[in-house]
Structure 1
Amino acid sequence: MTQTYLTTNELSARIKYDARTIRERLKDSVLLEGRHYFRPFNGRKILYIWEAIEADMFMQPAFDTSIPMANGANCHV
């Protein structure tokens, strides 16, 4: 199986998020080490696995965990 490995800058160009947002907000909360990215040779460089990220981006939640609020918004739990 062929996988596409991307640097943070290459991933940011594909998903239209700033590289800093990926590093500070998405990594380790949404993008998980071992599933979405890895550190080759136990180094500092991070390579993202495009196919795993793309598959998770299109997944629908199994059920809605949001709570409707009076102003029409939803509180996500």
Structure 2
Amino acid sequence: MSYTYLTTDALAARIHYEPTTIRSCLKDSVLLEGTHYIRPFGGRKILYLWENIERDMLSDMAEDRISIPLASGGVCNG
């Protein structure tokens, strides 16, 4: 499968979030290493996998469930 690799700034432009929000709030809570992003060659650089992020964003919209946002950045599913 072919992936579209995005830097944090490119992902931020695509989903209309600030890069700092992605780094501090979404990475490792919503966006998971190995699924949504990789560290090529074991380095510090992070590349996001657009197809996986888009798939999960759209699947959350398709599910008919109630979620309550929490101050910590998580959600409470009801």
Normalised by the size of structure 2, how large is the TM-score? 0.79
CA distance in 2, matches of 1:10, 1:46: 12
Which runs of at least 4 in structure 1 moved beyond 6 Å after TM superposition? none
Closer, same or farther in 2 for the Cα pair 1:28/1:14, shift >3 Å?
A: same
1:2, distance to aligned residue in structure 2 (A): 1.2
Larger radius of gyration: 1
1:30, distance to aligned residue in structure 2 (A): 0.2
Q: Which runs of 5+ in 2 are unaligned?
A: 69-74
| Larger helix proportion of the pair | 2
CA distance in 2, matches of 1:49, 1:66: 25
1:41, distance to aligned residue in structure 2 (A): 0.6
Instruction: Give the length in aligned residue pairs.
Output: 70
1:62, distance to aligned residue in structure 2 (A): 5.3
1:76, distance to aligned residue in structure 2 (A): 2.3
Q: Which runs of 5+ in 1 are unaligned?
A: 68-74
> What code does the residue aligned with 1:11 have?
L
> What code does the residue aligned with 1:10 have?
A
CA distance in 2, matches of 1:51, 1:4: 7
Closer, same or farther in 2 for the Cα pair 1:40/1:66, shift >3 Å?
A: closer
CA-based RMSD: 2.0
After superposition, what is the alpha-carbon deviation per residue over 1:30-73, rounded to whole angstroms, capped at 9, x for unaligned? Answer: 00000000000100000000000000001137563657xxxxxx
Normalised by the size of structure 1, how large is the TM-score? 0.80
